[in-house]
Structure 1
Amino acid sequence: MSSSLHRLSLVRLAEEIRRSAISPVDAVRCMMDRIATHDGALHAFAHLNDAALDQARRAEAEIAAGLVRGPLHGVPLAAKDLFDTADMPTEFGSPVLRGRRPAQDATVIARLRAAGAIILGKTTLTEGAYADHHPDVVPPVNPWGAGHWTGTSSSGSGVAVAAGLIWGALGTDTGGSIRLPSSCCGVTGIKPTWGRVSRAGALALAPSLDHMGPMTRSVADAVTLLGVMAGPDPCDPTASQLPVPDYMAELTKPVRGLTIGIDHGLLKARADDQVLASIEHVIEVMTGLGARIVDVTLPPIEPALTGWAVQCAVEAAIVHREHWSTRAAEYGPRLAALIERGHRHTAFELAEALEHRRDFAGRMEALYADCDVLLIPGLPVAGPTLEYMSGLGEDPAAILAIGPFTAPFDVSGQPTITVPCGASEKTRDGGGIPLGCQFAGPRFAEALIARTAHAFQTATDWHTRRPEGYA
């Protein structure tokens, strides 16, 4: 079992640990061994937890004594290096915060630990959770192809899960930062409704756009984490007071009769042929499961995207004002340019962006009168290469060119789940890079979109595929 332990799903691992068939110590050692073997080339981790083995031994003893803390007892996980952890640095991908040691855990970290999870390490991210890694940071490498983009900003989380270095990881999403790496790395990621998961103790890019969510190998694994992470929090007054559903109980409900909306016009205008073909594949699978496909028209996304760029820049400038005033020279060029734009935007421009946001969010919520969920690609381009990404030019045009299917849902605050649904064409120069699709729903419809995505995964095997050399 030890040689294939990393192939188990998170749900199966947790079950085996609870009945003492697998030791948490063996699970931690398995991941530590794989990290030692592979992460020198992949650079997915920024920090490792020196106390992880001791924590695993404690979990093993507790379970043996009949004390099961929760659904994640003894399960190793990782967290993007912007979630505060009292036992590891939290450095935000930035030299400005190098050596920062928080006094306490972020709320989501505390909840995972209370459920028995072992936080094995912190994953690499882009500087300040924006678009590029700081020049001092070695970027993570896509295990499916070193010349291809990992997706940002939760790059290390996507790489670690895809390569089997961890069973699940936390990410954040401001314009697509859970869903872009999930698409590029072939993993499952949930961007919940804004406010569904507490942001307390998580360093911010743009607070009103930031969403916290899980990245795993399957929908079942992802909702297992989400069920622990979600819920009201006195430390975050913006966290919703709504009760958290039993996501796992909802997964197996049928999708027959479910109505899935697709904006074919938007897709044809924005997505390449390989991406369009992957969506047609999803349509075929979901139709075979009894779902009904209907044509819908999303409200115009350009005002929402333009407003997103303004609001992200202004909020980032506010977040960084303390360090920016004295240490601006230490920032990397792309985050620095964002902050500078934030200082230049006028009150008129911000007010206009907020008005566009309110209008777009309202129209998006009304759209679900015509369908239950939406189907939309994760990316407009199949398996983008690093060369392609470097040719997109300057922000905000560059970042919005890659995120037209992701950023609008950060603007609306609605939940989406990304799952693997295909692979790019193989050529002499590479290819075979995962493609992802999103199922989106109205606010707080995480259970519905997860059920839809789970049905797709029960009928396909894209989420079970592993990159060569990491199986």
Structure 2
Amino acid sequence: MSDMSHYSALTDVSAAVRRGAASPVALTEALLTRIAEVDPTLNAFLSTSAETALQEADEAATEIASGRWRGPLHGVPIAIKDLFHTAGTPSTFGTTVYADFTANEDATILRRLKQAGAVIVGRLHLHEGAYGEHHPELGDVMNPWNHAYWPGGSSSGSGAATAAGLCYGSLGTDTGGSIRFPSAANGVTGLKPTWGRTSRKGAFPLADSLDTIGPMCRSAADAAAMLGAFAGADPGDPTCLRAPVPDYLGALRGVAGMRGLKLGLDPAMLDVAEPEMRAAITAATEVFADLGAEIVPVKVPSLAPATEAQLVICETECARFHAPAFAEAPGAFGAALSGAITRGLAYDSLTVAGAYIEQARFKGRLARLFEDIDALISPVTPLVGYRYDDFSSFLDNLMDSLSFTAPFNLSGSPTVTFPCGISPTIGLPIGMQLIGPHLTEDVLLRAAHAYQQATDWHLKRPMA
């Protein structure tokens, strides 16, 4: 491996480890050193786990050397968002309120990652309670491309650490855009699975009926490798789907084009995006067409009512979880999360009922749209980037800020987000997403992989 191996793809590192060209221990030591050098200015990690990570790496090296290779994550260092229960280790949920919480057992997804042989190098920073903004006592995460700009959230540490070469992949969660925002802002590839495709047992909730857990990586192939390790039914989570789990990574072998794929495009969705984003997504659409995809004009169901419904449901369910702690110490919560809890406690029953009715209707409208297309092309945000010194504009205008993300949490739809350009004015990555019918993660990953085989935007790296 080269001295820039911290920027290598997870799948490339995995292949090198399997054939003995790279050592899990050496990789882990190098990343821990890089975290110590780089992260003080990024603040992507809330904690590292050097001792246990090196032990896991040593065990992986021994197993692989003896021919017991577990799969593509075996011996590969990754990191997790700090809201997953970990036996004997505090899980902060990005706040000081739950700083003393320590679980007795690992979250299902963490257990599956360990069973796949992954090396867990640390726990990543996030917006407080996975909502709104970072807790003031824990500080902001910096965007490795430009520290003046928001790195996305709530999985801010996951996006920044993956982009900056501090891990080869990471876990994120998404309730209203929390995988997609940081994937777009940091130039990484994030997969928000179908709601219920991945277990939520042992994960702090923001909104139980909307939360989804997925991988954030440097490529669609890397995301496929991670998703394959932890997707699938879980007896401990009754909301987890029992549908068979495809070989996501294996399905990408030999994929070079998109012939036969129908991608929907609603020009109205691009009209509200700023010019640089509109130009990048238009250029990407031309690449899709050159690769054989059929671009189908569509009219997407109105997104504003769905966005409003998502906000009501999210804040109501958020308030339900935090109500006991909030009643005891309201001043311990940061402004954004406190506001969400307060609003959630105040919604009347008719408003909440209306939100769940809109959810059912939007899901039905979207299902009919997908009868004619395989996936929908969409921006992630209206703007390429949000400056930290003006971040209040994002929080004060959530109906606009979440307009391309929250509706597809309401519908439970899978999406894949990936880079399709770089802003010539501010130097930030430009991301886009493909949205599909339920349980079409394999289709979305194949489309993103084919695009990445034909372009090199996912290979661009920040100078963190």
Smaller-chain TM-score bracket: over 0.9
Give the Cα–Cα distance (whole angstroms) in 2 for the partners of residues 193 and 79 of structure 1.
20
Give the Cα–Cα distance (whole angstroms) in 2 for the partners of residues 437 and 334 of structure 1.
26
Give the Cα–Cα distance (whole angstroms) in 2 for the partners of residues 450 and 68 of structure 1.
24
TM-score, structure 2 normalization: 0.97
Maintained 8 Å contact 2:192/2:414: yes
Query: Are 1:162 and 2:163 an aligned pair?
Result: yes
Maintained 8 Å contact 1:161/1:167: yes
2:177 equivalent in structure 1: 176
3-state SS of paired residue (1:83): coil
Amino acid in structure 1 at the alignment position of 2:461: R
2:66 equivalent in structure 1: 65
1:97 equivalent in structure 2: 98
Give the Cα–Cα distance (whole angstroms) in 1 for the partners of residues 422 and 12 of structure 2.
26
Identity %: 45
2:121 equivalent in structure 1: 120
2:375 equivalent in structure 1: 373
Maintained 8 Å contact 2:48/2:123: yes
Give the Cα–Cα distance (whole angstroms) in 1 for the partners of residues 93 and 2 of structure 2.
34
Amino acid in structure 1 at the alignment position of 2:314: C
2:76 equivalent in structure 1: 75
Maintained 8 Å contact 1:250/1:447: yes
Give the Cα–Cα distance (whole angstroms) in 2 for the partners of residues 57 and 399 of structure 1.
46
Amino acid in structure 2 at the alignment position of 1:385: R
Maintained 8 Å contact 1:47/1:89: no
Query: Are 1:309 and 2:311 an aligned pair?
Result: yes
Maintained 8 Å contact 1:378/1:435: no
Choose the corresponding residue for 2:265, options 258, 262, 265.
262
1:141 equivalent in structure 2: 142
3-state SS of paired residue (1:246): coil
Give the Cα–Cα distance (whole angstroms) in 2 for the partners of residues 161 and 52 of structure 1.
17
> Aligned pair count?
461
1:392 deviation in Å?
A: 4.0
2:399 equivalent in structure 1: 400
RMSD: 1.2
1:37 equivalent in structure 2: 37
Give the Cα–Cα distance (whole angstroms) in 2 for the partners of residues 217 and 90 of structure 1.
26
Amino acid in structure 2 at the alignment position of 1:204: P
3-state SS of paired residue (1:14): helix
3-state SS of paired residue (2:241): coil
Query: Are 1:284 and 2:286 an aligned pair?
Result: yes
2:209 equivalent in structure 1: 208
Q: 1:418-437 alignment to 2 at 5 Å?
A: 418-426=417-425, 431-437=426-432
Give the Cα–Cα distance (whole angstroms) in 1 for the partners of residues 163 and 266 of structure 2.
30
Per-residue displacement from partner, 1:171-206 (whole Å, max 9, x unpaired)? 000000000000000000000000000000000000
3-state SS of paired residue (2:391): helix
* Structure 2: stretches of 5+ with no match in the other structure: none
1:34 deviation in Å?
A: 0.9
Give the Cα–Cα distance (whole angstroms) in 2 for the partners of residues 7 and 163 of structure 1.
8
3-state SS of paired residue (1:78): strand
Q: 1:225-236 alignment to 2 at 5 Å?
A: 225-236=226-237
Choose the corresponding residue for 2:327, options 325, 328, 349.
325
Choose the corresponding residue for 1:357, options 332, 345, 359.
359
3-state SS of paired residue (2:59): helix
Task: Quickly say closer, same or farther: Cα 1:48–1:87, change in 2 above 3 A.
Answer: farther
Maintained 8 Å contact 2:264/2:296: yes
3-state SS of paired residue (1:183): helix
Give the Cα–Cα distance (whole angstroms) in 2 for the partners of residues 87 and 71 of structure 1.
27
Maintained 8 Å contact 1:162/1:466: yes
Query: Are 1:348 and 2:343 an aligned pair?
Result: no
Choose the corresponding residue for 2:452, options 426, 447, 457.
457
* Structure 1: stretches of 5+ with no match in the other structure: none
1:415 equivalent in structure 2: 414
3-state SS of paired residue (1:379): coil
Maintained 8 Å contact 1:130/1:153: yes
1:2 deviation in Å?
A: 5.3
3-state SS of paired residue (1:89): coil
1:220 equivalent in structure 2: 221
Maintained 8 Å contact 1:70/1:114: no
1:267 deviation in Å?
A: 2.2
Query: Are 1:448 and 2:443 an aligned pair?
Result: yes
Query: Are 1:439 and 2:451 an aligned pair?
Result: no
Maintained 8 Å contact 1:129/1:153: yes
Amino acid in structure 2 at the alignment position of 1:325: A
Query: Are 1:20 and 2:20 an aligned pair?
Result: yes
Amino acid in structure 1 at the alignment position of 2:269: L
1:446 deviation in Å?
A: 0.3
3-state SS of paired residue (1:355): helix
Give the Cα–Cα distance (whole angstroms) in 1 for the partners of residues 402 and 304 of structure 2.
12
Which of 436-445 and 325-334 deviates more? 325-334
Choose the corresponding residue for 2:277, options 275, 278, 281.
275
Give the Cα–Cα distance (whole angstroms) in 2 for the partners of residues 202 and 210 of structure 1.
10
Give the Cα–Cα distance (whole angstroms) in 1 for the partners of residues 56 and 436 of structure 2.
38
Give the Cα–Cα distance (whole angstroms) in 1 for the partners of residues 394 and 33 of structure 2.
38
1:21 deviation in Å?
A: 1.9
1:368 deviation in Å?
A: 1.0
1:73 deviation in Å?
A: 1.2
Which of 20-29 and 165-174 deviates more? 20-29
3-state SS of paired residue (1:454): helix
3-state SS of paired residue (2:121): strand
Give the Cα–Cα distance (whole angstroms) in 2 for the partners of residues 87 and 374 of structure 1.
43
1:149 deviation in Å?
A: 1.2
Per-residue displacement from partner, 1:389-443 (whole Å, max 9, x unpaired)? 223463xxx22322211111101001000000011122xxxx1100101011100
1:238 equivalent in structure 2: 239
1:210 deviation in Å?
A: 0.4
Per-residue displacement from partner, 1:82-101 (whole Å, max 9, x unpaired)? 01112532110111111322
Maintained 8 Å contact 2:109/2:199: yes
